[in-house]
Amino acid sequence: MLQKQFDSIKFKFSEYLTNLNISPNSHKNYRSDLSHFTEWLILKLHSFGFYAESFSEAVPFLSADIANEYVAFMTQNKIPVKTINRRLSTLRHLSKYLFSSHTLEIDFMKSVENISLGRRQKTAATLLIVEDFQSYLEKQKVPKSAVKNYVSDIRQFLAWVESVNSQQVTN
């Protein structure tokens, strides 16, 4: 997806990474991961009826729920665990940057943990149940917009349950 305008937050985040003295390869991976997340986020926001065209416009929507939905999306699309965890690392750096620069009032990645193979399998099983529910609703001739909203609500609820469970395990 081409950005129609200069994205100042992505540029400032890139400068932040440069100041961390990370390797050029790591810097390239961070930029690539952020671009992937940005494209996913903008499409996700469009599905909710919000029309952000750049990452800067999408930043106010960042939350742990959105991050967990991104994890679910990557898991559902069979992204390798190492790649998912690297992308989550990028988002943790981004979240810390946005919080420390007062761009966001929360550290949206604070409760989002790396995934393990076991978690990936549980998430995949949960996604199959959600897909089955979506098929059921479609067979019942529920309007498409309602199906989309129900499925989104369920995914957000399941992401919340997962984050609560992971917090209880760490406490």
pLDDT tens track, the chain, 171 positions:
444 445 888 889 988 988 888 889 998 999 999 999 999 999 999 988 888 888 999 999 999 889 988 988 888 788 888 999 999 999 999 999 999 999 999 999 988 888 876 655 556 567 678 778 888 888 999 898 888 888 888 877 877 776 666 555 444
pLDDT confidence of residue 1 = 41
Report the CATH number at residue 95: 1.10.150.130
Domain that holds residue 155: 10-170
Report the alpha-carbon distance of residue 167 to residue 164 in Å, rounded. Answer: 5
At 120 the pLDDT is 53
- Residue 116: inside a domain: yes
Report if residue 96 sits inside a domain: yes
B/e letters for 4-43, b = 16+ CB within 10 Å, e = fewer, are: eeebebbeebeebbeeeeeeeeeeebbeebbebbbebbbe
Would residue 135 count as lying in a domain?
yes
Q: What is the structure's pLDDT at 2? A: 42
| Residue 2, domain member (yes or no) | no
Q: Which two tokens stand for residue 104?
A: 């966001």
Give pLDDT, residue 154: 83
In a domain, 4, yes or no: no
- State how many domains the chain has: 1
What count of other Cβ atoms lies within 10 Å of the Cβ of residue 163? 18
Question: Is 67 a domain residue?
Answer: yes
| Domain-embedded: residue 1 | no
| 33 inside domain | yes
> Do the Cβ atoms of 127 and 76 come closer than 8 Å?
yes
